[in-house]
Amino acid sequence: MSQQTETFQRPTGLRGLHYRLYDWVLHWSGHKRATPALFLLSMAESSFFPIPPDVLLLSMTVAKPKNWMRYAFWCSIGSVLGGLIGYAIGWGLWSAVSGFFFEYVPMFSAEKFDKVAALYDKWNFWVVFTAGFTPLPYKIITIAAGVAKINLLIFFVASALSRSARFFLVAGLVSRFGPKIQPWIEKYLGILTLAFVVLLALGFYALKFLH
């Protein structure tokens, strides 16, 4: 009996660009300059690049589990610096570049952007922190923060805490349990993050109420 193996046919043209970028990112995992590539990818993803750095971070950690802290560190630093670039784009260049982002950058849409910008009126720290820790498209958050002109120190602290927590957690889990933990991370990280943010917010509220 012959077996037929079904293979996924990736789309061509602009529709297939995301897949080609994914493959290009993944090929850096075995490169001698993988760590600088991870840093630059993390920085670019926070402001315009569509592929999240987790793809490369996970692959590098699987290959060399003992280096997970170094990989997570450079991934975090790059992401926070990229977030500041995204903030600068929103703060000073948005009127000139918004058309490009809405048309060519995946996950960007005027509707999503307006919703995020509106949230900053009341929840600036929590919006940045939650998005930085979850699989939400962080570039929308960073640029919208600049457009809304939220306090830069609040933005920086929320970014540093959330992005480092995310990358150290992901790399640490993969280092400890190997690639078999990856499906679990993809399925439950968002739920656990939202639960954590809710508990943290309730804790701050309780402290405020007690005082």
Pick from 23-27, 93-97, 140-144, 201-205: least confident: 201-205
Q: What is the DSSP string of 99-139?
A: HHHHHHSTT--HHHHHHHHHHHHHHHHHHHHHHHHSSS-HH
Look up residue 179 and give its DSSP letter. Answer: G
Give per-residue pLDDT as tens, 14-62: 444 445 655 656 666 667 788 998 999 899 888 887 778 888 888 888 8
Helix axes 68-88, 34-45, angle to 10 degrees: 30
**Two tokens, residue 43:** 């920085």
pLDDT (0 to 100) of residue 124? 81
**Two tokens, residue 93:** 């260049």
pTM higher than the cut 0.75: no
Q: Is pLDDT of 131 > 90?
A: no
pLDDT (0 to 100) of residue 203? 47
Look up residue 31 and give its DSSP letter. Answer: S
The Cα angle at residue 102 between residues 81 and 116, in degrees rounded to 5:
65
pLDDT (0 to 100) of residue 211? 46
Tell me the pLDDT of the chain averaged across its residues. 75
**Two tokens, residue 197:** 């943010």
Least Cα distance to 142 among 18, 152, 54 occurs for: 152
Q: Is pLDDT of 85 > 80?
A: yes
Confidence label for 193 from pLDDT (cuts 50, 70 and 90): low
Highest mean pLDDT, choosing among 30-39, 74-83, 110-119: 74-83
